[in-house]
Amino acid sequence: DGESPLSKMTDWVNTTCPCCGGPAKRETDTMPQWAGSSWYFLRYMDPHNDKALASKEALDYWSPVDWYNGGMEHTTLHLLYSRFWHKFLYDIGVVPTKEPYHKCTSHGMILGEGGEKMSKSRGNVVNPNDVVAQYGADTMRTYIMFIGDFEKAASWSDNAVKGCKRFLDRVWNLSENLTDSMDYSAANESAIHKTIKKVADDIEAMKFNTAIAALMALVNDFYQNGCSKGEYRTLLLLLSPFAPHMCEELWETLGFNAEGMACEQAWPAYDESKTVAAEVQMAVQVCGKLRATVTVPMDSDEATVVAAALADPKVQKFTEGKNLVKTILVPNKLVNLIAK
């Protein structure tokens, strides 16, 4: 009936008015809505128990909550109350853990294009259904994850939505120009291993925007170097958490569905040794002025870097006929040749 359980204690509810002496009822609906929202997560652990808040077995199995996420307004309201209630329940032996959550996060708010809070009065509300109807659900999902840092506010941008649609279109179009190989090419191997590691780490850290940026960079590499069927398979698995509908369709179109759905596959493995670039581009300065860039093996010694720099025609124009009196090396970044 929506009334507090306290209302059923008629001996306490029914009383005498202290002012007029007539019959009266005590107020039973005294707790704010925060009371219910302070322990609901415990009830989820055993929702049909009519004898207790939750059974000891259920609480022991499920507690504490792995990850609680809510809006910023929850940080000083719901979180404060829920921890207070949980600690009280722990003190009286009802729950087995001191803290209610392993991890608690707050997500940022999406603002209007002008940086103001969305509201009907301002006329800047974006209806997600309209975006999905025009660009598709995967574009909407990808954009929401790409819009900015998870915990910070970000302004909506129609142009950025279109940019995410173009990215997904590039992924789709890439499927029409694949080689039959299931192996990684030498040109793409390092970038693929780096991206697998980057996307996995960023998803765990909720840095979804930088994970998608890494996938965009990988797609650029594939367009530049070519893409094999095996490389594209890995791309689909990395992209599927953000654009599942498109990835599942491409997965089936390319015949990978014999293995099951993309979302059922193991996450791609990476080789740590291949996430480190074998070569690095270094800036070459002559007397403090940038004159060229050279490609050398990673962690090259000074002699190797200087030899590569002096062999560059652009550098030779400024060192020819001069004596090299000093070199300044910043490993893997730059070398400065002092010539007189």
The identity of residue 16, as a single letter, is T
214-252, pLDDT tens digit by residue? 999 999 999 999 999 999 999 999 999 999 999 999 999
Radius of gyration of the chain (CA): 31
- 181 and 239 both lie in a single domain: yes
As a whole number of angstroms, the distance between CA 305 and CA 295 comes to 9
Tell me the one-letter amino acid at 265: Q
200 and 130 both lie in a single domain: yes
Answer with the one of 107, 137, 152 that is the final residue of a domain.
107
Is there a contact between 199 and 211 (Cβ–Cβ < 8 Å)? Answer: yes
The whole-model pTM stands at: 0.72
Q: How high does pLDDT run on average in the chain?
A: 92
**Nearest CA among 278, 107, 268, 85 for reference residue 192:** 268
Are 230 and 257 members of one domain? yes
Q: Residue 82's domain spans which residues?
A: 33-107
Say whether both 131 and 235 belong to one domain: yes
153 in the same domain as 259: yes
- Residue 59 counted as domain residue: yes
pLDDT in tens, 3-28: 778 889 999 999 999 999 999 999 98
Rounded to whole angstroms, the Cα distance separating 231 from 247 reads 14
Task: Check whether residue 86 and residue 135 sit in a common domain.
Answer: no
Name the least confident of 120-124, 132-136, 185-189, 333-337.
120-124
38 or 147, higher pLDDT: 147
pLDDT of residue 296: 92
Q: Domain ends where: 76, 107, 138?
A: 107
CA-based end-to-end distance of the chain = 94
In the predicted model, what is the mean pLDDT of residues 85-93?
95
Same domain, 159 and 197: yes
The C-alpha atoms of residue 79 and residue 30 are separated, in whole angstroms, by 21
Residue 21 lies in a domain: no
Residue at 52 is within a domain: yes
Q: Are 307 and 282 in contact (CB under 8 A)?
A: no
Q: Which of 56-65, 67-76, 77-86 has the highest mean pLDDT?
A: 56-65
Contacts of residue 98, defined as CB under 8 A and 6 or more positions apart, other chains included, come to 87, 90
pLDDT score recorded for residue 32: 66
Q: Has residue 277 got a pLDDT over 80?
A: no
Same domain, 217 and 296: no
Distance (Å) of CA 305 to CA 250, 294, 297, 310, 330: 45, 8, 9, 9, 10
Query: Does residue 139 sit within a domain?
Result: yes
Domain count for the chain, please give it: 3
- CATH number of the CATH domain containing 133: 1.10.730.10
d(CA 185, CA 26): 78
> Do 53 and 163 have their domain in common?
no
Q: Mark whether 254 and 130 lie in a shared domain.
A: yes
* Coil vs helix vs strand at 28: coil
**Lookup: tokens for 305:** 């870097």
Q: Tell me whether residue 205 is in a domain.
A: yes
Q: Which of 231, 246, 276 is the last residue of a domain?
A: 276
In a shared domain, residues 265 and 240: yes
In a domain, residue 89? The reply is yes
pLDDT for residue 33: 67
Long-range contacts from 108-112, C-beta under 8 angstroms, 24+ separation: 108/72, 108/148, 108/149, 108/150, 108/151, 108/152, 108/153, 108/154, 109/71, 109/72, 109/153, 110/144, 110/147, 110/153, 110/154, 110/155, 110/156, 111/153, 111/154, 111/155, 111/156, 112/155, 112/156
The three-point CA angle 190-191-194 to 5° equals 85
d(CA 221, CA 218) in angstroms, rounded, equals 5
- Judge if 57 and 164 occupy the same domain: no
